[in-house]
Structure 1
């Protein structure tokens, strides 16, 4: 491997070179905080030499260099130069704007305009809207990357405009002198950018670039696992036409996950997908496992699996995605697991959902399996907050791999039955469950468990055949003994217990208002609601009765409703 290293200033770098952003590079993704930090560093070091690190490239053509490392910085610097160009134009100095533009675009041998940055992912937005000095002429679409580029451009323009305005608004000298000062500051800013120093590392071949790319980004650099995988697939699957299938398919994976209304992490998806099929590995070791297994012969099939898995994985967390009305019970179990903040079952659930979508198992099998997983984690996580040493995560990964290898519903049924047996073996103690159940509360002062309380009350009400009036999603939590009856924080731990709570429809809630229990009891019964037998003949709920009702619901929950 031949590696050349040179010290370069930005103006030397941009003159005479075209920089290609290769297919394995990630999109421009600097957030406003990154752009603001870069701006601050630049302003603090104005007129001084400032080192911005290394940039790694490989030769494509005579004057074209493909960027391996340094794309984000190079793009940001170019965007800043474009913002300075616009400021020169606003100050009626077109010759300075044109002089700067000579570093942003060049003329080729046929006298055609060629921009210094040659990108595919943000084309033609970056070229038409940012790099071009004249108004845009070619229509373009705006996606996530284009929005990030526009944000950076706007931040730079606004920062420059604020500083220029300070000079132009100076009341102590003439407008001409103010303008000269503004142009002078802007010229210093331009020269500071041009004088930024870096080390340019040049490689001979694209294969060397892939290797350096991985090496640079597995030594503590913040490149995501998803980017490393995209690079690996791009290395193995070379484009045979104008359509870059790696880029298109990996973009589908990223878009599927990132477009979810629930914040999801592509790297976590990759780990869960891999665990559900091959190995129980940590995030840190996943890429090496992929490299060991995925080669030129099987890369396309693996890539296709990641594409299909991304949709199924998203549906585990985003229960409005892909699930039909006829599948609502499965979706509710998944939503419950999200309420419990449980992710351990995800590799196993991914395999279950995949098997269902592939028609290896029927919906009833999927629904029952998810229901048992939901019941277990309700007790294990939501109520008792039990901790696993890692055995449960390994169990679900093993389960996922076994389901993945099943050829028919019979095999899958046996694997699922084995999982249920293992969940039953891990059942929490009744005493631990009851103690945890009493600590699930909801009041205005203690509202963090509201979603869990709604979930529990809904399940209990359905089990007890409460005649809901209105849709279940419209029901509100009613305190039978009003919260206003208790003043201290300790009292709220009683009034907020599940034994003092029930779900009611909106109209009933309005009728109940802040009445005492005696009046509420009459209203509830007149509206068709059923009250526990231990409330018979009771006009006032004491702390003892509330605790007794909480214990009754706890016993019903662990022995009936959430029994695996």
Structure 2
């Protein structure tokens, strides 16, 4: 290789279109796994769509997109072999994979659109009828092919971490992408995404140089973070040296606590704290609007604090700064981390915090909501109940939206949730309950949609959540000590969604002429259960009458299908709640039986998410 070429390094600002069109990349061995979490992909979708909507106007023509605000996605590093032109991704695989997943979803959305943007060549190239994806890693091929063609992929036990994450992140994109961009605005957004999103492509022509660049980019050096700049400003406002040293030490201690959870937890904390307790404005949705409190806190909270501490925090004197950060700062760090713990590990004093960790809204809205009502004067029991109440409202909102096939990405709901943040800010527990009950009751989506709800390719995550909540709720009604994690994320054997009907259309031709109709009813919420992994596979293809005896050994919700359950468990029918729900056995399982179970699920949802929960007293079991 020519030494001059070997030592060459190029850096170019390019669009996604230029980066991906008709390109092939191999993935370097040391970073083969795709590990983005839901928070990363949701934040990306939120940032992209929010930036686009700042410029978009329905009256625009598509060429006007070229003048829209650009978005910088960061650098990617390649090592290119000058002899054959093959490129290896050294840094940026996570972002390129995420971009590809978003392009796949956008392409899926535009299938039925009259105006289509040519983006398939950014995802794959085709030769002799064979599709070859831009990232050449054979473990991804079947998953990418299914997602591209069908918008769905069924995971198997053999799928590795990368494939599992790709499927989950694709589902997160489906949920987070704003509904208002899926029809008329869609070609505008696609144009903007592939041409106005800017990436710095760095190309080295030797692996040695490429790795040197990679290491340099991942060395943060001495750049100050927003947290560090905020700290500097706060300390500069405290004139007493002893007090300043005390706050400096306290600051280090609290930031270390946050960093034990995540290297960026400090920034997430300040954004949640300031938005939850102090933000009073949010950018209007119309094109050309200026960022307001909510957005400014998200981007540069240290500057926002500097501009607003007098008006919104009532902080002006040295003593006021000292007292505020001595008391308020550690208090909110403590509860921010307690909320984090309760989301990860089920806490019976605030169970809904765990539920919304698996079926909630964007962290940029959820965390400010959870901090908004709590105050320094609240005792621990009151704070637990406040967190649980707010979490309960969030879950009610998301479940109602989901059974109505509505999305709740940040862009779609941020004005609603921002108004709730302001409404519940510093509420006492009784006022909070009244406000949240009213807000939950006024959610426009209705439980009447439950009988029409079905399992489809990209809502499996929600169906698992819904069935886990139903299963544990019914168990608890009859005195079993199971919890939501028992079914949703147990330590041992996992639970899977079970179709009561086997996938055998021929056995149901007495009721259905078309297989599509059969599949619709087979996927109805009334025809689904949760069963332990392995049990599901062992008799999933059996006829209903053969399965029924197995169901009698499972959770309460499955057991209620069998007549014997009612005969052996007379206490089940003594519960007033159970009587209102009106269970009945199903010796056979026909279309009419599915309709009965659909109505039962609706009644369970109405009870399970009833708004009288918000009038509960402190200490009552949730």
TM, length-normalised to structure 1: 0.48
If you compute each CA radius of gyration, which structure gives the higher value, 1 or 2? 1
TM, length-normalised to structure 2: 0.44
